Structure 1
Amino acid sequence: TIMGDSSGGGLSAAFAQYLAANDLPQPENLILISPWVDVSMSGKYDDVEKDPMSGVEGLREMGRAWAGDLDLKDYKVSPLFGDVSKFPKTTIFVGTHEQIYHDVTNFYNKLKDNDINVELNIGEEMNHVYPVYPLVPESKEAFNHIVERILDSQ
């Protein structure tokens, strides 16, 4: 299992794309928690509730720094724009109050369109990386689901 949250979720997805591009074996599971899949922040963000974790302009600035010399839409930093046709079974978590909500749902739809075994778990009115916050009641259910996914692959 490869798992990551936020930028680590985007990095995990990009790594799966790198493995596929180099004909290397995929993990059995890819678990992405609020993955940052578009560091260019080129999507629509106006209709998302205010995310207390991050703002669009701040994310754009961090995206430019993260990408360095790479194009902001290079799959290595923005997996939304890469080839997902060889992805492993993928489980995604995202909250509806995240700035990146639509980017994540677009990524999910891209996986579905490529016939990938993918599951999208949406936390209604949840903020960025909600599954990792132990005091958020919804995180316990998400955490248990993650454990279940990992154990099912063993």
Structure 2
Amino acid sequence: MQDYKAENISVLGTSSGGNLALGMVPYINAGHGDTPMPGYIMAISPGTCVDTDEEWQRMLELDKKDVAIPAQYMKKAVEVMRHGDDSVPEYMIWLQKGDFTNCPKTTFIYGSDETLYACAPSFEAAMKKYKVDYKMIVGEGMFHCYPVFPICREGKEGWKMMIQLMKENT
């Protein structure tokens, strides 16, 4: 914060890191206002726990295609994230339930064949509820965090897109 204004800082996270990048917003809104909002967030395949039966059913369907994240793990993740502490705030378990007031421009990137994509509609609903300027990008036939695996043609395209979006929004 000494060298850059908050609006000139972009935060990018993949998987659990995508959850943490997005999770900054509800964290700040939960009484940590001394931390400024970044100017831009990119969440690639953000990991969050399943909250509704609808999300769970979508996740089970996607589980047939996902090569990285088993649907069952996302049920178990609630216990892992709580680590025996029931005082962990809900938004830290189910990020889609967080308060996204004053959320900066945000880009989500998912692969269509990953279990975590099951929560994308819930994130979209949250972004709309809080009137966030957001973009939802879905790589058709792609896997978990595909843009950070530029070893295949599609991954290379995702990598270039990710870099371009960061340049455009920073």
**1:37 maps to which residue?**
48
**1:8 maps to which residue?**
17
Amino acid at match of 1:36: G
- Is the partner of 1:131 in helix, strand or coil? helix
- Correspondence for 1:56 among 54, 71, 76: 71
Q: In 1, are the aligned partners of 2:108 and 2:135 still within 8 Å (CA)?
A: yes
Amino acid at match of 2:139: G
Q: In 1, are the aligned partners of 2:25 and 2:103 still within 8 Å (CA)?
A: yes
Aligned residues: 154
Note closer, same or farther for the CA distance 1:138–1:109 as it changes in structure 2 (3 Å cut): farther
- Give the fraction of aligned pairs with identical amino acids, expressed as a percent: 26
Shift, 1:116, TM fit: 0.6
CA–CA separation in structure 1 for the residues paired with 2:108 and 2:86: 26
Moved more, 7-16 or 116-125: 7-16
Asked which structure has the greater CA Rg, the reply is: 2
Corresponding position: 1:46 with 2:60 = yes
**Structure that is richer in helix per residue:** 2
TM-score by length of 1: 0.86
CA–CA separation in structure 1 for the residues paired with 2:48 and 2:76: 15
- Is the partner of 1:80 in helix, strand or coil? helix
Q: In 1, are the aligned partners of 2:150 and 2:158 still within 8 Å (CA)?
A: no
CA–CA separation in structure 1 for the residues paired with 2:143 and 2:120: 13
How big is the alpha-carbon RMSD for the aligned residues of Structure 1 and Structure 2?
Answer: 2.2
CA–CA separation in structure 2 for the residues paired with 1:76 and 1:70: 11
Corresponding position: 1:98 with 2:114 = yes
Map residues 1-154 of structure 1 onto 2, 5 A cutoff: 1-21=10-30, 22-23=32-33, 24-38=35-49, 43=55, 44=57, 45-48=59-62, 49-68=64-83, 69-70=85-86, 74-154=90-170
TM-score by length of 2: 0.79
Moved more, 16-25 or 89-98: 16-25
